[in-house]
Homo-oligomer: A and B are copies of this chain.
Amino acid sequence: MPETIKHPVTIPTEKKVGCHSCGLSYLCIPHGLSSSELENLDTIVKSRLRTERNEVLYHAGDNTQRIFAVSSGSYKTFIINEQGRKQITGFYLPGEIVGLDGLGGICPNSTAMALETATVCEISTPELLDKLCQANHNLRNSFMRIVSREISREQQMMMVLGQMSAEARLANLLTGFGVRFRERGFSATEFNLSMSRHDIANYLGLAVETLSRLFKKFQEKGYIRASRRNIKILDWKALYALSKSNCHRKNRGNQNHPDK
């Protein structure tokens, strides 16, 4: 089904779950906060929003004034340039924050779309900032850490796209998802991806055909067993090594830079 025929309206649900009773709090803003700090945070978390597959949570350029904590399901974010070329900039799992490119009253650069039925906790950023200011260092730092980690994550992606071979990119993606699933209490070695091969290929800066051949290659080598979106990692060590070591470009620039 074409992505665009889905209507882009989010459906508010009635139930409001507090951060203190949320099973994801250890991954989300609440991580490391005291009970009273949690209550403080709770007051600014609005209702949950539910989005269906391919439904847009917010568009690039929307004056959202909100960020979103993924509660269930998953999202992709992407940017589209003047020529219509798309680049997926992130996949977001429960406990992760979407919309950090739209803080401080500016409009987000990216569009967020649900990869499957998914829900988010909606957080008004003006209110969040007010609350953070009334709160203590803990809550403030907790939020700033999330922002900084998003920047660091994108820097790592620049390394992947700028320096890594196609093999290393996929290995990196697979082990990365493994780690993130494990953090969420699932298996690190067997999981279902919620995104298509097209999405993965775009995210990794590869052609779909190349990606398909890589999946085949990894299977033939016994690293994984992949059946459509179901992935089983059979040789974590090999994948991990691949993800770290295999680069498509010899390190000839700045040879004299021994801080390797």
B258 touches A4 (CB 8 A): yes
CA distance A158 to B88 in the complex (A): 8
Residue of B nearest to A248 (CB): B205
Interface positions, chain A 104-152, Cβ under 8 Å from B, are 104-106, 108-110, 125-126, 129, 132-134, 137, 140-152
Which of A9-17, A43-51, A75-83 binds B? Answer: A75-83
A257 touches B140 (CB 8 A): no
A202 sits at the interface (CB 8 A): yes
Question: Per-residue CB proximity of A225-253 to B under 8 Å, as 1/0?
Answer: 00000000000000000001101010111
- Contacting residues, chain B, for A141 (C-beta < 8 A): 104-105, 129
- Contacting residues, chain B, for A157 (C-beta < 8 A): 154, 158
The A contact surface, by secondary structure, is helix
B253 touches A4 (CB 8 A): no
A220 sits at the interface (CB 8 A): no
Least distance between A240 CB and chain B CB atoms (Å): 10
- Contacting residues, chain B, for A152 (C-beta < 8 A): 101, 109-110
A254 touches B147 (CB 8 A): no
Residue from A155, A157, A205 with most neighbouring chain B CB atoms (10 Å) = A155
Least distance between A65 CB and chain B CB atoms (Å): 10
Inter-chain pairs besides A154-B157, A198-B253, 20 sampled, C-beta below 8 Å: A4-B256, A82-B244, A86-B163, A86-B260, A87-B155, A87-B163, A100-B148, A100-B151, A101-B148, A102-B148, A104-B143, A104-B145, A104-B147, A109-B152, A110-B152, A133-B140, A158-B161, A161-B205, A199-B253, A207-B249
